[in-house]
Structure 1
């Protein structure tokens, strides 16, 4: 029964995402500003009303902040980056940062005691870091070493930690109490590893170089995401985004729990 429920959730999310993507791609009903707020009472019988959101007032304000930050600061920077940077170079930059993210994927596979996935992720990182010229290219995927996306939020879910209340973070967007804690742990591990390695230690402009690389990383991350606030044409976008995020993470946690059960 649980497997059927998970499959139904996955199908529903896929349909919703396809609808939102089609609306965004066609440009239909695209809003330049925030549409009027709708009451949850209008959605009383809809599945997205069941997500635990005790801080909805705060989350709505933060969602609005993220919209304005995205529209007037983040996306203009991304468009400028895309305008001046050839597509070939954009792909190389994305591959480089995606390769660095394998460190997070690897550590969380280890935390989940997934030996096979840990070995595969380590193989991806070593292959792309060497044959792939420092991660600029992705020969590992062609060799059958597919990326295993992991984070500490999934690790907590793997070990049975509940997602907790829904939470919208500044700039980062939709999250939960569990995933926010996971984000902090992942950031701490990444910072610790970088501090240990610190390839620019002793450089004259160490701070400027580090800040520039972090800024480029943020711009590239947004560049790789197709989501745009309030471009879905859906009048209840806040609830829809909340539902999709929650259900996606629940499905991923459920899959992780199933993998754990199979290992026992």
Structure 2
């Protein structure tokens, strides 16, 4: 229940930020209509037609929802954040949240029994948490300890779990049944660790502070992503994004070339 209240508050805060910055952000993206819908029959011989997508109608509607959410809520909030926050501070905030994410990278490297990657990721976290002043700076990269992005969806793929049907999630965007399950596991682990540590336990304003941190994390995450819906210039963007996401995840989990993810 506490986690649900935090999430609702975070979304509400994003909505307020979006409302306050709508005037500044509305001129940056003037297109109000979506490109016309196309049929997969037009592309039946193309490689991105083979991705298993039995829920295409639902996914298309969710893709459109994500477009509108992004355009009218998320991106205005991000533009407002970028407008009022100096670039130097933006970089420090991004480094801080990226450093926290090393916990997820470490646990999943360990789940995949990748000892070398686990040690390197732990070294990154310790280095940036100490020399990097709590993760605000990234001296680990300069020392050759590059970030190794991992999540439980990749872990499942590494151990042979098929991606399953393609799935577009609200707000989170392109995913699959496997990666959605992985997202839930990673979120559960993160929440469990936070509950165990809980640096604000007992504080009078614990809920407000936690909600603020989660909201800033969401805004910073979108700030770091360059993807913009319907700006690829490709008339069949839904299929293109679906194919790229699927292939990228298969390559990252080491399953590319082992199978074709069409309907079984």
Contact kept in structure 2, 1:159 and 1:257, CA below 8 Å:
no
Identify which of structures 1 and 2 has the higher relative contact order when contacts are C-alpha pairs closer than 8 Å and 6+ apart: 1
Q: Which runs of 4+ in 1 moved over 3 A?
A: 255-258
Query: Where does residue 98 of structure 2 map in the other structure?
Result: 98
Conservation of the 8 A alpha-carbon contact between 2:66 and 2:173:
yes
Verify the 8 A CA contact 2:94 2:220 in the aligned structure 1: yes
Q: Give the TM-score, by structure 1 length.
A: 0.85
Alignment of 1:28-107 (within 5 A): 31-107=31-107
Q: Distance in 1 between matches of 2:257 and 2:94?
A: 31
- Structure 1 unaligned spans of 5+: 1-29, 259-264
For residue 233 of structure 1, report the CA deviation from its aligned partner: 1.3
Residue 230 of structure 1 deviates from its aligned partner by: 0.4
Contact 2:247 2:256 in 1 (8 A): no
> Over residues 65-100 of structure 1, what are the superposed CA-to-partner deviations in whole Å (9 max), with x where a residue is unaligned?
000000000000000000000000000000000000
Which consecutive residues of structure 2, in runs of 5 or more, have no partner in the other structure? 1-29, 259-264
Q: Distance in 2 between matches of 1:194 and 1:171?
A: 23
- 1:140 aligned partner: 140
Deviation at 1:31, TM superposition (A): 4.6
TM-score between both structures, scaled by the size of structure 2: 0.85
| Correspondences of 1:140-219 after superposition (within 5 Å) | 140-219=140-219
Q: CA RMSD in A?
A: 1.5
Q: Distance in 1 between matches of 2:256 and 2:95?
A: 26
Structure 2 distance, partners of 1:89, 1:109, is 30
